[in-house]
Amino acid sequence: MDKVLGPRYLDAFGYAARLHARQVRKGSGIPYLTHLMSVSALVLEDGGDEDEAIAGLLHDAVEDQGGQATLEEIRSRYGEKVARIVEACTDSHEVPKPPWRERKERYLAHLRHAPADVRRVSAADKLHNARSILSDYRAHGEAVFDRFTAKKNDTFWYYSSLVAAFQEAGGGRLVSELQRVVDELSSLGAAGRS
C-alpha cells in the first residue's frame, strides 16, 4: 500500500525547521534540519508510519530546543505516540546534562527494551550520525573527533554498544547498515592508530 504524508507531516516539517532554524551540525556548518530530514527519510524507507516519520523530524527537539515544554507542545500538536517516541529518543531532559558516559549507558540500557517504533527512529538517528562521522573522518581524519564531547575511543565504544543493543532487541535493516558503517569507521580508526 502506498504511503501518503498528510498535513500533520507537513506541519511537523515546518515546526522542526522553525525549532532548529539557527542550529548547525557540529563542526560542519551544515543546517541541522538536514539531519532531521535524513532521519525521517530513513524511518519511512524502513517502513515506518507517519507518526514515526514525524518523530524522526522532532527526535532532538526536547533535548536541543526547550525540554519538557517542547515535549508537551509536541504531544498537543502531534499526539501521544509521537511524543512517546520523541521522549524515548531523548537521552536527557536535565539541565545541566549528566556526564556523557552516564547518559549513554542509561540510553543503551533503555534501548534494549524499547518498543519497535522507538528503536526504528533511534536506529535511523544513529545511522545518519554514524554516516556523517564516517564521511567527515574520510575528509578530515582524526580532527573530526575534536567536535564532540566524547573522545574517539568513547565514540567507537558508544556506536559499537548501540549496534549490540539494537541487535539484542531484534536488529533489522537499519541496524545491519549501522553495523556496516560502524565496522568501516572502526577499521579506519584502527588504521589511523597504527
Distance CA 137, CA 118 (A): 28
**Annotation marks residue 63 as catalytic:** yes
The verdict on whether omega for the bond into residue 98 sits within 30 degrees of 0, i.e. cis, is no
Cell of 6: 498528510
Cell of 152: 574517539
Task: Indicate the DSSP class of residue 20.
Answer: T
Helix, coil or strand: residue 28 = coil
Nearest to 152 by CA among 164, 140, 163, 166: 140
Q: Are 173 and 136 in contact (CB under 8 A)?
A: no
Nearest to 130 by CA among 180, 87, 166: 180
**Annotation marks residue 45 as catalytic:** no
Q: Give the Cβ contact number of residue 99 at 10 Å.
A: 10
Marked catalytic residue, from 11, 45, 51, 64: 64
* Beta pairing partners, 24: 31
Marked catalytic residue, from 49, 60, 63, 142: 63
Q: CA dist 110 to 28, 165, 175, Å?
A: 30, 9, 16
Q: Active-site residues: which are they?
A: 63-64
